[in-house]
Amino acid sequence: MQSARALGAQQRRLREAVRTRPALAGSAFFLAIAIGLLITNGPNVFGQTTVFGIVSGSYFALGAVGLTLVYGVLRLVNFAHGDFLTFGAYMAFVINVTLGLPLIFAIPFAIATTAAIGVGLELLMWRPMRAKGAGMLPLLLMSIGLAFVIRNGIQMVAGTGQRNLRVNLTSTIAFVGLRIGRTELIVVATSVVVLTLIGLMLRYTSLGKQMRALADNFDLAEATGIDTNRIVLATWLLAGGLAGLAGVLYASAVGTFTPDLGFLLLLSLFAAVVLGGIGDAYGALAGGFLLGLIQEWSTLVIDARWKIAVGFAALILTLVLRPQGIFGRARTI
């Protein structure tokens, strides 16, 4: 009896902790799983899987940050965001394979062209629709339609077959018994550097503060003297650029890609966005890495074929327990 009551009290305390300190409770839970997997699988296998998780997390995070920024600022769920990644990968292919130039030239080209697509679509589609006061549903349908247009457009021009970038996928670097591909290391490093810069930009620069102001209260931002159209344009530039970069990094890390790249990745990006709290750029960043780790770690327990399903199971669980995301604060006060 005594112990049952103690257990009850403990449970209450635990529930209280989950409610008041979600990030801490989430991290503790996550750490417990990591330690469990480390003990059952040994440091080598666990470490190697973690490395894979960080690699996929790095392009998840890049894609998710752009997706969540657009949602945060415009309340637009952009189903075409995944196809922005595909577009970036194919633009890199043009430079890297068709023209035969090194990847270092292909990456900026992919970023610039995908950012241009983001800006162009804002001017052609989204801004006129906003001026008309279009509701959420028409915008959602337009973004779904746009996704098909981009994907089919790429298929029309480049065909549906598999493509490869000219990257070195065989050379690896060993580090305390763990192996990471040289390309994968570049992917992770690039993503970490870029995401850190984006995080600092949002936190400290005037542009970042204005973007956060729009995400907080669009009309008030305009009434405060912020040129909202200009900031929206900057948001698309950033989201498009990040998507282009994520596309190239994905194509480089995985080695092969098809026009379905972004479409297949899109749901994972949404999962990362929701894990971190919709509209929260820092949350999406963490959510991306978290999703990568969850998916790869799951392969230690069950067959790798099901890792995507595991990622989504984690997403559903998060939504049931904390609809505002692991790090999200309730938006209404």
Partner 1 sequence: MTASGAVLETRALVAGYLPEVDILHGVEVRVAEGEIVTIVGPNGAGKSTLVRSICGLLPPRSGSVLYRGEDISRAKAHAIVRKGVGYVPQLDNVFVSMTVEENLELGAIARPGTQLQERLEMIYGLFPRLAERRRQRAGTLSGGERQMLAMARTLVPEPDVLVLDEPSSGLAPTLVAAVFERIAAINRTGVTILMVEQNARRALAMSHRGYVLDLGCNRFEGEGRELLEDPKVIELYLGRDPRGVGGRRAPRGHEAGA
Residues making contact with partner 1 (CB under 8 A): 206, 209-210, 212-213, 215-217, 219-228, 329, 333
Task: Report, in Å, the least distance between residue 328 CB and partner 1.
Answer: 11
Q: Which is nearer to partner 1, 91 or 231 (CB)?
A: 231
CA distance 277 to 331: 10
Q: Which is nearer to partner 1, 170 or 206 (CB)?
A: 206
Task: Report, in Å, the least distance between residue 301 CB and partner 1.
Answer: 38
Q: Which is nearer to partner 1, 69 or 266 (CB)?
A: 69
Q: Which is nearer to partner 1, 190 or 210 (CB)?
A: 210
CA distance 234 to 118: 10
Q: How far is CA 198 from the centre of its chain?
A: 13
Task: Report, in Å, the least distance between residue 22 CB and partner 1.
Answer: 16
Q: Which is nearer to partner 1, 88 or 277 (CB)?
A: 277
Q: Which is nearer to partner 1, 133 or 161 (CB)?
A: 133
Rg of the chain on CA atoms, in Å: 21
DSSP 221-264: HHHHT--HHHHHHHHHHHHHHHHHHHHHHHHHHHSEE-TTHHHH
CA distance 33 to 238: 35
Task: Report, in Å, the least distance between residue 213 CB and partner 1.
Answer: 5
| C-beta of residue 63 within 8 angstroms of C-beta of residue 251 | no
| C-beta of residue 53 within 8 angstroms of C-beta of residue 310 | no
Task: Report, in Å, the least distance between residue 130 CB and partner 1.
Answer: 13
| C-beta of residue 50 within 8 angstroms of C-beta of residue 33 | no
| C-beta of residue 69 within 8 angstroms of C-beta of residue 232 | no
Task: Report, in Å, the least distance between residue 74 CB and partner 1.
Answer: 16
